[in-house]
């Protein structure tokens, strides 16, 4: 016990020192959870192979309250894996010890710092342990009391209870004080206990600075059967240093040099050589399946199929090739068609109910544990999880998103159900891939490429059945495009994807009758974008018209402009510019000026005064 | 009682008929809540002036389960305000009776259809009733059981309980069935009761098809003191029609013609002339203050001030001029500096804790009740509420957003805290305004314009203190820009805003020493954008460099490209392209190639080979 208290002192010492050295950071939020984390890590329950952070049997520790990073790094220092010199570079450029934990530091499971997200990531890891890898590791998540105000925390709790994730153990550090003052409930722990119990968790209320209580709680937590466990700990922010302990106004503030001197004097002598022991994990092997081969794609040109349907079919088709796939859906699997996968592989499908934030966090947890999560909902409803999506890039996520019901072409359901900003949202991510197939064949091929590609990929699918454009053996690469119509006398290039590509093809036929030729490009990969083909089209035809069932900002038009910005040609963007509403898909495409009619009008406006080419050149068609 | 049951029959009749007529819609979700809503509206508790939907004393009714729109419109038909002919145009183009309720229909309080948002809107309306207008109206919110999976529902509950909003009454229509199957809890009403009670609400559990219980519940609900009330009703989806009642597989499906015939036969004769009575509200006047005048802005050129600080100062300064202002913050008021306002006007400031989704929904409710909500958090954390932000445009919101801590220039805290996609996000909204001031004077003037402008406005502020660039009497308009440096020999135009504008000015000084001149434009209004000034600069200098502390997609670069797309010039975009990390602001600006150094390098690359102008023309400086 005395040993643990000495380790806690070591950790308090460094939490204070390194934040002062950095000139910023959250020492007080670290001090409140120091005893809890010391007890967890070095008190005999935590199992971890320090030489192998990727060991599949390691217990997982997620700091959902990521601002307690001084504590986090000091813990691993107490484990002997971070030197004092490394600690002193905390928050400095090029140090892996960033302001909030990121995977730059090898013991970080997931980047945190946007509150209320850690528990969902833990749900993903615990789902993996229980249902997929079938391993005995436990997942621990340290939470702040303030972040329980985030609805996402409660989404994670309800899903964890639903799936009976008894290997998931949360620790709430109830230090009473948020950033600018007291939380809604201060030190009233019964509020937390009542709520968390009502959400189906086992709860253990303790004094978070009393080591015997802490050790008993962790032991008890490991014995839960059937329920996730939340340890609710009464703590003091700044615990251990009288002039900051339980005092408001000290959030996110490093001590000044003289304050640090005072604090360290109060802390007393620290044994810098002290090290905590962590027990090694078992060596159980994860349940694994060998990759096989997927069946080929098979569509007939006669029968239109919605790309959303092709998405579901593809998931089911390719699982043998990608046995690490997992499919999640937010209670709309009969709309996104992930239900096709579910029907065949129910053990690899997880219903996430209408809680998109937690779905993304869970997917991140699964992705970190080596799975390939495909997650789907209406394109519009991924906006619900933009913060989780944004954060996932900092954990190098490998999540495959599919948003169905894109654009006004969904029709009668109206604006609330129309994804009109999803391309913009997913394009913002560094290194993301954004795909938007126009037919079932390309959709299936692109789903395969999603699985192959390491990183964040978003696919946008369409509600309506659309004609098959391609042959079953055509291939579609990330970063590619398809020139569907091309001649030597093209007077403009129309770049489209999804529903509007079919409008562009209709426009082509109409214009052709009048002797006007346009180039039509299927921009199925919006990011990365096919600069070469677009550049050539710009050069050949001198003008580009983009047509998209999406708002202007951040959409296909701006993506194409970005691609061509150094060799500029005029680019006309047809997109959703008026408040959308209910109606028939065709009416809405016309209303928003993104239908064949609008394309024809735009081409005519551009070619007005142009001479009809005197001699028709050979028209090259590509399928 | 019999009268109410006949009204319920009338409503069931039309819910079935109009969805079949439309060929889509959610009749079964309407039937489960028909008795509840009939009891509410026509049972004696609801107070509403049908001739005046804007009456400040009207009770408010929000259909959070917006897909029950057949019920919603049929209710108002039973009140005598929608004709059968109007009902039959349900979901048709140009009908105000859209698939999910929108303000196109005069009795809709707020557009719904993205689940889990209605209760937050209700919180805003109830806050207004209790603390601002001080009116006795009540706010009713109809919720589905499925949408309680959304964390945002629990955010709304915790805040409603915290502010003791006893005039807020929720009704959960527990019909057991979600879109693709059963909810997590089916008809286990104790789960809902326990959770909602634990969240501080009074709960009343009833049979939602038993009219006497319904009427008693509503009466009881109006008598709560100190707590919001949730009526938890056991209902059956499709109630009243045997072959769809409590059956899975009927979500969002209109009956086919022959099924409708069967259903109507079962329903029996309906009195189409029946009308329900709604009692009129009192005529209490809202508590109002007359507008006065704001003090002038007053900064001295010597002392740098962060734009986030100017935001807070401006809020406090302009309240007398805009007495309908209300300020909300998500527990970071000491970072966004809305605390300056709070200190002076605590009665107009509402702490929303770390629950951004609910903050936006609450702001929408306040906005609909005629207030001007200014809401703030870190720019990065507004991504948490993208769905609510997206939806708010369909309610014609008048919300003023302020996101602080933009970009990598926040420094040591690292990527999780950096707003790098906020411009892209807010630009997607139709008719939104996006502002990004570079100094305190322009920030203050733009906050004034935010208050004056009717609609969604986003302002991005900077963490660091930045030099004062402007005079206290300079003016800054939405859609404007400022040319800060300009000569007749400018070899390029640098367009920047916020932190990077100061980098551009540094670059200007360095380049000037070498005889190279650049035009520098302060693009403080990113949307709408000053096409005229940008167009002139493009023409004068032949090339544009945009510099922004934001990711590429949807940012300033793409906004400028969009503005110039018809008169294209080469545009070089300097923006955040590498995974950001912790470090000093200056280090990170350099690392991301958005510092003065990067601008100079880009200008040099462009002007390489260019001759130094033989004769220096007069250099016009503008402040």
Q: Does the pLDDT at position A284 exceed 50?
A: yes
Q: Which of B154, B179, B559 sits opposite A151 (nearest CB)?
A: B154
Quick check: A149 and B353 CB within 8 A?
Answer: yes
Searching chain A, which residue's CA lies closest to the CA of residue B421? A428
Give chain B positions within 8 Å (CB) of A335: 179-180
Q: What is the nearest CA distance from A374 to chain B, expressed in angstroms? A: 18
Place B1 in a pLDDT band, splitting at 50, 70 and 90. low
Contact between residue B526 and residue B579 where contact means Cβ atoms under 8 Å apart: no
Quick check: B430 and A577 CB within 8 A?
Answer: yes
Contact between residue B501 and residue B460 where contact means Cβ atoms under 8 Å apart: no
pLDDT in tens, A196-207: 999 999 999 999
Give chain B positions within 8 Å (CB) of A195: 195, 198-199
Contact between residue B27 and residue B19 where contact means Cβ atoms under 8 Å apart: yes
Place A286 in a pLDDT band, splitting at 50, 70 and 90. confident
Searching chain A, which residue's CA lies closest to the CA of residue B567? A570
Q: Which of A184, A414, A427 sits opposite B553 (nearest CB)?
A: A427
**A363 burial level (CB within 10 Å; 0-12, 13-18, 19+):** buried
Give chain A positions within 8 Å (CB) of B117: none
Place A620 in a pLDDT band, splitting at 50, 70 and 90. very low
**Can you spell out the DSSP letters for A262-300?**
HHHHHH----TT-----BPP--PPPP------PPPP---
The CA distance from B324 to B326, in Å, is: 7
Give chain A positions within 8 Å (CB) of B95: 582
Is the Cα dihedral B332, B337, B339, B342 positive or negative? negative
The CA distance from B184 to B147, in Å, is: 11
Quick check: A417 and B100 CB within 8 A?
Answer: yes
pLDDT in tens, B35-45: 999 999 999 99
Q: Does the pLDDT at position A615 exceed 80?
A: no
Neighbours of A61 (CB within 10 A): 24
- Residues B454-478: what's their mean pLDDT? 97
Quick check: B99 and A582 CB within 8 A?
Answer: yes
Q: Which residue has the tokens 């049997």?
A: A57
Give the pLDDT confidence score for residue A316 in this predicted structure.
98
Give the pLDDT confidence score for residue A216 in this predicted structure.
98
Contact between residue B101 and residue B111 where contact means Cβ atoms under 8 Å apart: yes
Q: Does the pLDDT at position B613 exceed 50?
A: no
Quick check: A149 and B562 CB within 8 A?
Answer: no
Q: What are the tokens at B276?
A: 């329900």
Searching chain B, which residue's CA lies closest to the CA of residue A576? B430
The secondary structure of residue B233, as a DSSP letter, is E
Place A1 in a pLDDT band, splitting at 50, 70 and 90. low
Quick check: B565 and A573 CB within 8 A?
Answer: yes
Quick check: A104 and B151 CB within 8 A?
Answer: no
Q: Which of A22, A354, A581 sits opposite B150 (nearest CB)?
A: A354
Q: Clarify whether B356 is annotated catalytic.
A: yes
Q: What is the nearest CA distance from B280 to chain A, expressed in angstroms? A: 32
Quick check: A114 and B381 CB within 8 A?
Answer: yes
Distances (CA, A) of B169 to A401, B224, B356, B368: 37, 10, 22, 18
Quick check: A577 and B22 CB within 8 A?
Answer: no
Give Cα A29 to chain centroid, integer Å: 26
Give chain B positions within 8 Å (CB) of A591: 93
Query: Between A and B, how many CB-CB pairs are < 8 A?
Result: 340
pTM of this structure? 0.97
B65-69, B159-163, B553-557, B615-619: which has the minimum mean pLDDT? B615-619
Q: What are the tokens at B82?
A: 């929608």
Which residues fall within 8 angstroms of residue A620, CB to CB, at 6 or more apart? Answer: A486, A487
Choosing among B181, B390, B556, which should be mutated to test the A contact, i.e. which has the most A CBs within 10 A? B390
Q: Which of A99, A184, A356 sits opposite B582 (nearest CB)?
A: A99
Backbone angles phi, psi at B402, to 5 degrees: -130, 120
Q: Does the pLDDT at position A290 exceed 50?
A: yes
Q: What is the nearest CA distance from B152 to chain A, expressed in angstroms? A: 5
Q: Is B232 left (phi over 0), alpha (psi -120 to 50) or beta?
A: beta
Give chain A positions within 8 Å (CB) of B430: 551, 577-579
The CA distance from A408 to A591, in Å, is: 10
Quick check: A23 and B569 CB within 8 A?
Answer: no
pLDDT in tens, A223-260: 988 999 999 999 999 999 999 999 999 999 999 999 99
Give the pLDDT confidence score for residue B202 in this predicted structure.
98
Quick check: B578 and A430 CB within 8 A?
Answer: yes
Q: Which of A93, A151, A412 sits opposite B150 (nearest CB)?
A: A151
Q: Does the pLDDT at position A612 exceed 80?
A: no
The secondary structure of residue B369, as a DSSP letter, is T
Q: What is the nearest CA distance from A548 to chain B, expressed in angstroms? A: 14
The CA distance from B153 to B139, in Å, is: 16
Give the pLDDT confidence score for residue B566 in this predicted structure.
83
Distances (CA, A) of B528 to A562, B429, B436: 19, 12, 12
A508-512, A523-527, B238-242, B616-620: which has the minimum mean pLDDT? B616-620
Q: Which residue has the tokens 């939806």?
A: B391
pLDDT in tens, B516-570: 999 999 999 999 999 999 999 999 999 999 999 999 999 999 999 999 998 889 9
Neighbours of B125 (CB within 10 A): 29
Q: Which of A24, A183, A584 sits opposite B412 (nearest CB)?
A: A24
| Mean pLDDT of the residues in chain B | 96
Quick check: B412 and A527 CB within 8 A?
Answer: no
Give chain A positions within 8 Å (CB) of B154: 151, 154
The CA distance from B254 to B67, in Å, is: 12
Contact between residue B325 and residue B319 where contact means Cβ atoms under 8 Å apart: yes
Give chain A positions within 8 Å (CB) of B421: 386, 390, 425, 428-429
Q: What are the tokens at A22?
A: 């950095």
pLDDT in tens, A351-401: 999 999 999 999 999 999 999 999 999 999 999 999 999 999 999 999 999
pLDDT in tens, B298-355: 999 899 999 999 999 999 999 999 999 999 999 999 999 999 999 999 999 999 999 9
- Residues A253-276: what's their mean pLDDT? 97
Quick check: A93 and B581 CB within 8 A?
Answer: yes
Q: What is the nearest CA distance from A436 to chain B, expressed in angstroms? A: 17
Quick check: B150 and A558 CB within 8 A?
Answer: no
The catalytic residue among B98, B147, B316, B356 is B356
Choosing among A89, A153, A154, which should be mutated to test the B contact, i.e. which has the most B CBs within 10 A? A154
The CA distance from A389 to A458, in Å, is: 11
pLDDT in tens, A541-570: 999 999 999 999 999 999 999 999 988 899
- Residues A68-72: what's their mean pLDDT? 98
Choosing among A25, A72, A93, A143, which should be mutated to test the B contact, i.e. which has the most B CBs within 10 A? A93
Quick check: B150 and A358 CB within 8 A?
Answer: no
β partners of residue B486: B620
Tell me how far apart the terminal alpha carbons of chain B are, to the nearest angstrom.
74
Q: Does the pLDDT at position B53 exceed 90?
A: yes
Give the pLDDT confidence score for residue B387 in this predicted structure.
98
Backbone angles phi, psi at B360, to 5 degrees: -70, -45
Question: What is the bridge-based pairing of β-strands B525-527 and B482-487?
Answer: unpaired
Which residues fall within 8 angstroms of residue B603, CB to CB, at 6 or more apart? Answer: B491, B492, B494, B507, B511, B516, B518, B545
Q: What is the nearest CA distance from B521 to chain A, expressed in angstroms? A: 19
Give chain A positions within 8 Å (CB) of B102: 414-416, 581
- Residues B130-136: what's their mean pLDDT? 96
Choosing among B428, B432, B550, B551, which should be mutated to test the A contact, i.e. which has the most A CBs within 10 A? B428
Quick check: B151 and A155 CB within 8 A?
Answer: yes
| Residue (of B32, B36, B101) closest to B73 by Cα position | B101
- Residues A37-54: what's their mean pLDDT? 97
The secondary structure of residue A53, as a DSSP letter, is T
Quick check: A146 and B562 CB within 8 A?
Answer: no
Give the pLDDT confidence score for residue B328 in this predicted structure.
98
Q: Which of B99, B577, B583 sits opposite A93 (nearest CB)?
A: B583
Choosing among B407, B413, B458, B592, which should be mutated to test the A contact, i.e. which has the most A CBs within 10 A? B413
């Amino acid at each position: 016990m005395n040993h643990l208290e000495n380790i806690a002192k070591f950790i308090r010492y460094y939490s204070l020192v390194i934040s002062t050295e950095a000139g910023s950071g959250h020492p007080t939020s670290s001090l409140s959870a120091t005893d809890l984390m010391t007890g967890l890590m070095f008190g005999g329950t935590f199992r971890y192979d320090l030489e192998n952070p990727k060991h599949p049997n390691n217990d997982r520790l997620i700091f959902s309250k990521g601002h307690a990073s001084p504590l986090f790094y000091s813990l691993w220092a107490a484990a002997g894996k971070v030197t004092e010199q490394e600690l002193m570079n905390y928050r400095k450029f090029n140090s892996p010890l960033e302001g909030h934990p990121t995977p730059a530091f090898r013991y970080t499971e997931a980047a945190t710092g946007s509150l209320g997200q850690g528990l969902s990531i833990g749900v993903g890891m615990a789902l993996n342990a229980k249902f997929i890898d079938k391993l005995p590791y436990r997942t621990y998540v340290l939470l702040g009391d303030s972040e329980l105000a985030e609805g996402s925390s409660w989404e994670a709790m309800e899903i964890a209870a639903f799936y009976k994730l008894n290997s998931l153990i949360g620790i709430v550090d109830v230090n009473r004080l948020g950033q600018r003052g007291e939380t809604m409930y201060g030190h009233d722990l019964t509020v937390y206990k009542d709520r968390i119990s009502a959400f189906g968790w086992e709860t253990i209320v303790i004094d978070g600075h009393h080591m015997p209580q802490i050790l008993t709680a962790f032991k008890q937590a490991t014995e839960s059967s059937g329920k996730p466990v939340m340890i609710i700990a009464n703590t003091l922010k700044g615990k251990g240093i009288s002039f900051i302990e339980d005092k408001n106004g000290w959030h996110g503030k490093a001590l000044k040099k003289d304050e640090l001197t005072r604090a360290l004097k109060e802390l007393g002598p620290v044994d810098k050589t002290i090290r905590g022991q962590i027990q090694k994990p078992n060596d159980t092997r994860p349940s694994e399946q060998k990759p096989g081969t997927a069946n080929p794609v098979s569509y007939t040109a006669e029968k239109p199929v919605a790309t959303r349907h092709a998405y579901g079919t593809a998931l089911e088709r390719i699982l043998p090739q990608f046995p690490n796939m997992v499919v999640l859906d937010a209670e709309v699997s009969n709309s996104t068609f992930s239900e096709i996968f579910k029907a065949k592989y129910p053990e690899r499908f997880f219903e996430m109910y209408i809680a998109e934030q937690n779905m993304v966090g869970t997917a991140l947890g699964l992705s970190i544990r080596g799975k390939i999560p495909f997650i789907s909902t209406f394109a519009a409803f991924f906006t619900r999880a933009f913060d989780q999506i944004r954060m996932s890039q900092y954990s190098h996520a490998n999540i495959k998103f599919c948003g169905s019901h894109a654009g006004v072409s969904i029709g009668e359901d109206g604006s609330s159900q129309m994804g009109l900003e999803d391309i913009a949202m997913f394009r913002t991510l560094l290194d993301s891939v954004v795909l938007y197939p126009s037919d079932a064949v390309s959709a299936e091929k692109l789903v395969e490429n999603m699985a192959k590609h390491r990183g964040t990929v978003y696919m946008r699918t369409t509600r309506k059945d659309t004609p098959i454009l391609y042959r079953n053996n055509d291939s579609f690469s990330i970063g590619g495009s398809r020139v569907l119509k091309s001649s030597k006398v093209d007077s403009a290039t129309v770049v489209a994807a999804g529903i509007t590509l079919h409008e562009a093809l209709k426009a082509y036929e109409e214009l052709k009758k009048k002797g006007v030729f346009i180039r039509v490009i299927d921009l199925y990969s919006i990011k990365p974008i096919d600069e070469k083909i677009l550049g050539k089209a710009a050069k050949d035809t001198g003008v580009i018209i983009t047509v998209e069932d999406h708002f202007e900002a951040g959409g296909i038009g701006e993506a194409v402009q970005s691609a061509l910005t150094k060799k500029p040609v005029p680019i006309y963007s047809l997109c959703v510019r008026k408040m959308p509403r209910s109606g028939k898909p065709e009416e809405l495409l016309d209303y928003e000026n993104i239908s064949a009619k609008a394309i024809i009008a735009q081409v005519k406006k551009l070619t007005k005064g142009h001479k009809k080419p005197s001699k028709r050149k050979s028209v090259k068609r590509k399928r």
